[in-house]
Structure 1
Amino acid sequence: MRTSAKTKDRPDTAEVTASLSEVDCGEVAGDMRTRAQYSADASNYRRLPVAVVFPRTRQQVIDTVAVCRRLGVAITCRGAGTSTSGQAVGEGVVLDFSRSYHRVLELDPQARTARVEPGIVLDDLQRAADDHGLRFGPDPSTHSRCTLGGMIGNNACGSHSLAWGRTAENVLELEVLTYRGTVLTVGEMSAAEIDAAVAEGGERGKLIAELHGLARDHLALLRTELGRFPRQVSGYPLEQLLPERRFNLARALVGTEGTCAVVLSAKLRLVPTPPVRALVVLGFDDAWAAADAVPALLEQHPIALEGLDRALTDLVTRPDGRAAIATLPPGQAWLFAELGGEASDLPARAQALAAAAAGCTGAEIITDTERMTRLWRVREDGAGLATRLPDGSEAWPGWEDAAVPPAALGAYLREFTALLDRHGLRGAVYGHFGEGCLHVRIDFDFDTEQGVGVFRRFVGEAADLVTAHGGSPSGEHGDGQARSALLARVYRPEVLTLFRRFKDAWDPDNGLNPGMVVRPLAVDADLRVDPRRRPLPLTTVLPFHADGGDFAKATRRCVGVGKCRTTAHRGDVMCPSYRVTRDEKDSTRGRARILYEMTQGDVITDGWRSAEVRDALDLCLSCKGCSADCPVGVDVAAYKSEFLHHHYRWRVRPASHYSMGWLPLLSRVAAKLPGPVNRLTHSRLAPLVKRLGGIAAERDIPRFAATTFVDWFRARRPGGPGERGPVLLWVDSFNNHFSPEVLRAGVAVLEHAGYEVRVPDGTQCCGLTWITTGQLGIARRLATRAVAALRPSVEDGVPVVGLEPSCVAALRTDVPDLLATPAARQVAAATTTLAELLVHRTEGWVPPRLAARSLSQTHCHQHATSGFDADRILLERLGVANTVLDSGCCGLAGNFGFERGHYDVSVAAGEQVLLPAVRAAPLDTVVLADGFSCRTQIAHGSERVAAHLAQLIASALPDRPTELPFTEPPRTEKPDTEIPTTERPAT
């Protein structure tokens, strides 16, 4: 194993950033945190850039290239950084187009074309085109974050390339910039146009003459060696220079991985969206049988034909994903065959396709859009799911993307499986079976020199194997550092010579992404996990069981697929702050990367005391969305708690850690004199109180209730016989002290359902606020007390019901992780939400009927742990017409939105979906939000008051009649169980 050769006498970061800043190149970053975050993509490689530039305009791109050329610094262009082959990392300047250089410049529905800047995310283009019934054909699984510039660089394909081809077939023109500063627009050219360009001379004429001569002199070689089947992506697509391809320089640049020119803009072909789709899911005994069935199925003309095996579906953890795969036809592998067309034709076509599936163990035709979406999501999450095997072993790219002609797929897959077995390796297989392209993540051992040697030998033998089957080491992800050095095993020397000539014609200075495709870096150089590097000896409080207690291994769960960089709301929560700032440091990936660099100690050198890590974690809301939405289960909320615990150990903490971190204890004190405390926090001294507490000046401090729920409950008599037996109601600090009416409504509902309601002895707390602020020692003591108080009842089979989703999540996940005891796990298993108890454990209970409409905000912690399915079922049984918002986190997230310096991001997160939807909701629509933080954010950002599900149910109970104020004017006082919908609260 070796490292890549370093550039001699390369200017240092200070000189480069100063030179770039002297000219208007956009935002220039040379700080260690940013450089560390851009040192890796979704591959196995790690290369620290000298600086990162974020251009906003075309001229800033041109100026950046000019400065780098003058300094002799290489440039690596980058979109979302989801490349699995290492072509999005480099030691020079990284040019990130995704943050600001991402406009749709022109969209012509009649011509079915669009012109875009390279940083635009594919889904953003799709939304713009969808207004006209159009779409861009290629759709990689990373469509929610991948950029068109990255797709052009890698010649991306996606699931529907059967219908609409690769990116190359959908690019009409490119406006590009060479390293030497020449700007030119390229596309297809006739012989007359070629002659005219050559005669005109200049840099453009010279370039076209050289490339035309290359093609003219090697026609037979280009026709026989390249472009043999659709997924032959490895190397440069020089077949596009053939006269029958109309000497298309734009398409010849697609797939060159940023090594030849910088894309300034692209003119793209759009295609009509099929009016109706149907998904035929076919089961097979194994992936080999599924591969064998492909040729016959292709004759049915599906628009997509994807495969996955049991090894991948076993890795699905999301509740909606598990529900989706539970209904798959019997088998150990499946093909997803999608048909598109007119509704009248699809049933017969779907039946014919199912009948053509030789060896099929079962088939199902699906037309329900929601169910199709859930199944496609399992397939799209494959790149992340496959990075961990069922036993927790790490799996890596490196042989991620090979393709063979579809007719050879079954034979290739059998031999490939045998090759894995010979090397003692494992991996989950999935991919574009319809085009012979397989994806697999393999459990290479990069922690040892021996394991790296196995990796090196394996990829060499795999290259020989795929070549023997007429295939290509890359089928859509490009060669990058992972496969460029293998091209000598795939192509004849004459072809490699043509690749070098093509690169040198465009980039004679080798200034653009050096080491990729030609003159390649070694496949085992610059590995992100290097056995020669000794990580810092870091001891953690949290156990990180899934990663063997290894914090470095936990942080490198992030393999860079970048799902956290999604800006559109598609039922995901992560990552709220990234959706506001679009800054890599505020993504789950960016935070995981900087934490991993901290564990290594050579780039971020201060360990737990690192200011760079502290700043990267500052805008993490601890929403826990990443723990569920990240396909690999990266849990930055846990990493943040661990870091803050060590970072501030024996040091003065931020004021908010004392005011809001200790809120449950302070609330007990305030509850003794709620009136005076409320008058103080809403008096002229309120600004001083907020400043001392580290609270944002823009926030109103919530008012303490006149009577806590606990005081009310212990003074009351039971409201029913409790024939179903006891239930333990968890009294969370938020509702107990600020909104006891929620807990009182919960008692009414539980007693109506036949339960005897009890509360834990003493005053208990799950420790959530101490966990989120990284005060894990105190949190552990509080959690231990809580478990001790709950355990006797739990051992008797009594369920624990919580009404505050964040506390329910803490009892289910945080507390057992923090304590790692059988008692904590027992309590976690007994803890349930109100909806789960009533839907799944209360047989025979008939809920009251309520003809109402509601709008629901799902708490982010509930999304991460239990989901909304039980709530949805319960609302249907109530007769409520409910709409669940695709809003993600509300933005307040406990202490986050109250902390000074976070207000703008907090409100911006709420304004993306939640607050506008609440303001637009009719007055007769109940706004439901079980989380105290969600209700507070809604109150602060609108004229509406949100209710808890328990309050909604209680309002319909026959023995507690309460009219809902759907159309009434706001009142100043309301009964405890009323559902307020128009009045702004006093908070």
Structure 2
Amino acid sequence: DSTRFVKGNPKAVLVVEWSGTQRELDEIFGHLDELAGEAGALAATPLRTKEEMSQTVRLRKSTLPLLLGTADEEKPVAFVEDAAVPPDRLEEFVVRFEEIVENNGTWACFYGHASVGCLHVRPALDTSDPEGVSRMRRIAEEVADLVVDCGGSISGEHGDGLSRSEFMEKMYGGEILRAFADVKRLFDPRGMMNPGVIVAPPRMDRQLRIGPGRKRLPIRTGLSFGDQGGFAKAIELCNGSGFCRKRTGGTMCPSYMVTLDEQDTTRARANMLRSVIEGTLPPEELTGRRMKEVMDLCVGCKACKTECPSGVDVASMKTEVLYQTGRQHGFSLRQKAAGHIRRQLALAAMIPSPYNAVAGTRFARRAAALAGIDPRRSLPRVANKTFSRRFPGLPQGTGPAEVALFNDTWNEYQRPEVGEGAVRLLAAAGARIYLPKVVCCGRPMLSEGLVDEARKNARRNLDLLVPLVERGVPLVGLEPSCILTLRDDYRKLIPDDARVERFAEATRLFEEAMLDLDGELLLREGAPVLLHGHCHQKALVGTGPTERLLGLAADVEVVDSGCCGMAGLFGYEKGHYEVSMKMGERRLFPAVRGAGERVVVAPGTSCREQILDGTQRRALHPAEYLAPLLDGSS
């Protein structure tokens, strides 16, 4: 949290930086409260370590994206954002600027460089509304007069541009402006270079990128973007701040972190969509080859939804693009097979031994390659006995707590031992466990753009599970991507279903559910753990619940590994293998290889598969790790 150094709820924050010897700095910081009192500050916070000081940098970089990341019609607009006045006139300037903004019926955020009197102020306006443009004009004129009156400059560091050139004469006078024009004619007699800037500028409200009468391409979306004001506004949340270009820390954007290609950023994907929506590119480009290339390496990790200060949800946008493309050109056999993976595994589970024997052969990998699977990947196996067949023989708690286990595809057909461990732990904590009938959560379908099929499954799961939810029984998921699809994506699939919100609130990650139970869990001390969190878990919940649960029995080290690179089917697909493995090698694989005696734990099924493929080391689900540590377990 980049604001944790802020005390109380102040109207403004002043960040002051000192340099000097250690002794000099100790003396200054020893009198910090006195200095703050002299400046009229309510409180002072010393920031001396690199980590503490970095909070202010993150806050500064996040300010504008946070302001622009709202669904409001009025958003901060840059046209008076670069004024500078002598520092001794700054207080007067701020007070009078605030009055101008308030008198024009809007608000603005003030940030910038107080030591040199340069402030970046962006009043909130809707420039697609003629009244918003009129207010922008009035504010620009009044601020220009204010700056001149305070002896300042309307362009402190960003340049004059189309938004401020009109007011240059107020600052320099007519004689100097005519001299500017004479010099320009000498070097640019045809007026070809940067026309309309400084010399012979148009009115600042005549060349708006977003102005009255703007048109957006109407698109009947498969997903609902109503919480962001619609598909177009969801795209326009991206303001180009470039947080998605970071190379270290967090998850966003995993493809850019390994390719370092602008095309593979969250920003590029949003800009490509914006170009189509606004008409810069023709409508057919929404489902064209270039859009496919730009979206191709998006792994759907959802990190941009929370790590981008503006909350740009490119994962949902990619799903929408795939949906529109499928409607226009048809869905491939590979997409249909991947989207209905539960059906494929259910068939395989009918003959597990023959299927597993064939799946391990070179012939099977070659056959899978024809369907778009990279032959270097191991094909999934199925368990000899499904989880639902094992469940009746598992222990039950005495209650009164109750939980319903969402029997995801991977737990049912591939990793029933995860479910067994989870049931033993839930029962040991006193819970009675139900295993209701469910259908696939819809996540594989969404990853392939099969939105209509995912919607059908969402409605079916609500029909099956809402009776339990209405009784107050929480829905517990072992696979983060599955249970969080119920929590997050069902709102976009069936937004008009009144049951969705309560249903989403009832969902729990396995670790959350365990921590909610009151029963005392008696665990022996286990080996230390290296924890890799699932992308959707990190984006929507965080690894905190997993850390706390594992911490009941072990020392836990969390690796800041970003995306493992598998991302469901992404890492299996032809053309993605190299990028997928590079994502793993960036941080995760080296951490696993260097884990020593630490047990590698990863809640995500695809994460565990990627760790095995990349390091030949088997990772465990938290339930697999903890269940053997129960008192009385062998």
Give the structure-2-normalised TM-score: 0.91
Residue 426 of structure 2 corresponds to 750
Residue 471 of structure 1 corresponds to 152
Residue 568 of structure 2 corresponds to 894
**1:407 to partner: Cα distance:** 2.4
Say whether residues 1:656 and 2:334 are aligned partners.
Answer: yes
Q: For residues 334-483 of structure 1, what are the structure 2 equivalents within 5 Å?
A: 334-340=13-19, 346=25, 348-357=27-36, 358-366=39-47, 370=51, 373-374=54-55, 376-388=57-69, 393-483=74-164
Residue 912 of structure 1 corresponds to 586
Superposed CA deviations along residues 849-892 of structure 1, whole A, max 9, x for unmatched, are 5353332222211121111223333344434141x222211111
Instruction: Tell me if the contact between 1:728 and 1:758 (Cα under 8 Å) persists in the aligned partners.
Output: yes
Instruction: Tell me if the contact between 2:550 and 2:556 (Cα under 8 Å) persists in the aligned partners.
Output: yes
**1:511 to partner: Cα distance:** 7.2
Instruction: Tell me if the contact between 1:703 and 1:738 (Cα under 8 Å) persists in the aligned partners.
Output: yes
Give secondary structure in 1 for the equivalent of 2:545: helix
Q: For residues 308-347 of structure 1, what are the structure 2 equivalents within 5 Å?
A: 320=1, 324-325=3-4, 328-340=7-19, 346=25
- Structure 2 runs not aligned, ≥5 long: none
Residue 349 of structure 2 corresponds to 671
Q: 2:48 and 2:523 mapped to 1: Cα distance?
A: 34
Q: 2:188 and 2:600 mapped to 1: Cα distance?
A: 59
The aligned amino acid for 1:901 is G
Q: 1:912 and 1:452 mapped to 2: Cα distance?
A: 48
The aligned amino acid for 1:605 is P
Q: For residues 160-559 of structure 1, what are the structure 2 equivalents within 5 Å?
A: 320=1, 324-325=3-4, 328-340=7-19, 346=25, 348-357=27-36, 358-366=39-47, 370=51, 373-374=54-55, 376-388=57-69, 393-493=74-174, 495-496=176-177, 516=197, 523-524=204-205, 526-548=207-229, 550-559=230-239
Change (3 A) 1:741 1:402: farther
Residue 395 of structure 2 corresponds to 718
**1:637 to partner: Cα distance:** 0.9
**1:471 to partner: Cα distance:** 2.4
Q: 1:803 and 1:374 mapped to 2: Cα distance?
A: 35
Give secondary structure in 1 for the equivalent of 2:14: strand
Say whether residues 1:732 and 2:408 are aligned partners.
Answer: yes
**1:443 to partner: Cα distance:** 2.2
Q: 2:5 and 2:71 mapped to 1: Cα distance?
A: 17
Residue 187 of structure 1 corresponds to none
Superposed CA deviations along residues 109-161 of structure 1, whole A, max 9, x for unmatched, are xxxxxxxxxxxxxxxxxxxxxxxxxxxxxxxxxxxxxxxxxxxxxxxxxxxxx
Instruction: Tell me if the contact between 2:232 and 2:277 (Cα under 8 Å) persists in the aligned partners.
Output: yes
Aligned partner (choices 282, 292, 298) of residue 604 of structure 1: 282
Q: For residues 54-69 of structure 1, what are the structure 2 equivalents within 5 Å?
A: none
Say whether residues 1:805 and 2:480 are aligned partners.
Answer: yes
Superposed CA deviations along residues 731-774 of structure 1, whole A, max 9, x for unmatched, are 22123222222222222222222222222x22322211111211
Instruction: Tell me if the contact between 1:547 and 1:553 (Cα under 8 Å) persists in the aligned partners.
Output: yes
Percent of aligned positions with the same letter in both sequences?
38
Give secondary structure in 2 for the equivalent of 1:379: helix
Q: 1:508 and 1:956 mapped to 2: Cα distance?
A: 83
Superposed CA deviations along residues 454-502 of structure 1, whole A, max 9, x for unmatched, are 3234223222222322223333333344334433332334555676688
The aligned amino acid for 2:296 is D
Instruction: Tell me if the contact between 2:522 and 2:631 (Cα under 8 Å) persists in the aligned partners.
Output: no
Aligned partner (choices 489, 513, 523) of residue 814 of structure 1: 489
Q: 1:361 and 1:842 mapped to 2: Cα distance?
A: 43
Q: 1:747 and 1:392 mapped to 2: Cα distance?
A: 49
Give secondary structure in 2 for the equivalent of 1:648: helix
Instruction: Tell me if the contact between 1:330 and 1:362 (Cα under 8 Å) persists in the aligned partners.
Output: no
Residue 545 of structure 2 corresponds to 870
Aligned partner (choices 637, 641, 647) of residue 315 of structure 2: 637
**1:701 to partner: Cα distance:** 1.3
The aligned amino acid for 1:352 is H
Change (3 A) 1:424 1:867: same
Give the structure-1-normalised TM-score: 0.60
Instruction: Tell me if the contact between 2:438 and 2:464 (Cα under 8 Å) persists in the aligned partners.
Output: no
Instruction: Tell me if the contact between 1:329 and 1:364 (Cα under 8 Å) persists in the aligned partners.
Output: no
Residue 794 of structure 1 corresponds to 469
**1:727 to partner: Cα distance:** 1.4
Change (3 A) 1:819 1:960: same
**Per residue, is there more helix in 1 or in 2?**
2
Instruction: Tell me if the contact between 1:656 and 1:899 (Cα under 8 Å) persists in the aligned partners.
Output: no
Task: Say what the alpha-carbon RMSD is for the aligned residues.
Answer: 2.9
Residue 500 of structure 2 corresponds to 824
The aligned amino acid for 2:216 is P
Instruction: Tell me if the contact between 1:604 and 1:610 (Cα under 8 Å) persists in the aligned partners.
Output: no
Residue 575 of structure 1 corresponds to 253
Instruction: Tell me if the contact between 1:658 and 1:693 (Cα under 8 Å) persists in the aligned partners.
Output: no
Change (3 A) 1:507 1:353: farther
Instruction: Tell me if the contact between 2:529 and 2:556 (Cα under 8 Å) persists in the aligned partners.
Output: yes
Residue 292 of structure 1 corresponds to none
Q: For residues 134-153 of structure 1, what are the structure 2 equivalents within 5 Å?
A: none
Residue 291 of structure 1 corresponds to none
Instruction: Tell me if the contact between 2:387 and 2:420 (Cα under 8 Å) persists in the aligned partners.
Output: yes
**1:691 to partner: Cα distance:** 2.7
The aligned amino acid for 1:897 is G
Report the number of matched residues. Answer: 631
The aligned amino acid for 2:564 is C
Residue 23 of structure 1 corresponds to none
Q: 1:623 and 1:871 mapped to 2: Cα distance?
A: 19
**1:513 to partner: Cα distance:** 5.5
Change (3 A) 1:762 1:417: same
Give secondary structure in 2 for the equivalent of 1:606: helix
Change (3 A) 1:350 1:466: same
Instruction: Tell me if the contact between 1:395 and 1:442 (Cα under 8 Å) persists in the aligned partners.
Output: yes
Instruction: Tell me if the contact between 1:780 and 1:818 (Cα under 8 Å) persists in the aligned partners.
Output: yes
Instruction: Tell me if the contact between 1:623 and 1:861 (Cα under 8 Å) persists in the aligned partners.
Output: yes
Aligned partner (choices 577, 597, 600) of residue 903 of structure 1: 577
- Structure 1 runs not aligned, ≥5 long: 1-319, 962-987
Instruction: Tell me if the contact between 2:387 and 2:419 (Cα under 8 Å) persists in the aligned partners.
Output: yes
Superposed CA deviations along residues 198-233 of structure 1, whole A, max 9, x for unmatched, are xxxxxxxxxxxxxxxxxxxxxxxxxxxxxxxxxxxx
Q: 1:463 and 1:694 mapped to 2: Cα distance?
A: 61
Q: 2:354 and 2:552 mapped to 1: Cα distance?
A: 44
Give secondary structure in 2 for the equivalent of 1:335: coil
**1:692 to partner: Cα distance:** 3.5
Give secondary structure in 2 for the equivalent of 1:409: helix
Q: 2:593 and 2:10 mapped to 1: Cα distance?
A: 48
Aligned partner (choices 315, 324, 328) of residue 646 of structure 1: 324
Change (3 A) 1:522 1:916: farther
Superposed CA deviations along residues 930-951 of structure 1, whole A, max 9, x for unmatched, are 1112111111111212222222
Give secondary structure in 2 for the equivalent of 1:702: coil
Q: 1:860 and 1:870 mapped to 2: Cα distance?
A: 14
Change (3 A) 1:667 1:482: farther
Residue 525 of structure 2 corresponds to 850
**1:602 to partner: Cα distance:** 4.4
Give secondary structure in 2 for the equivalent of 1:845: coil
Q: 1:454 and 1:392 mapped to 2: Cα distance?
A: 15
Residue 938 of structure 1 corresponds to 611
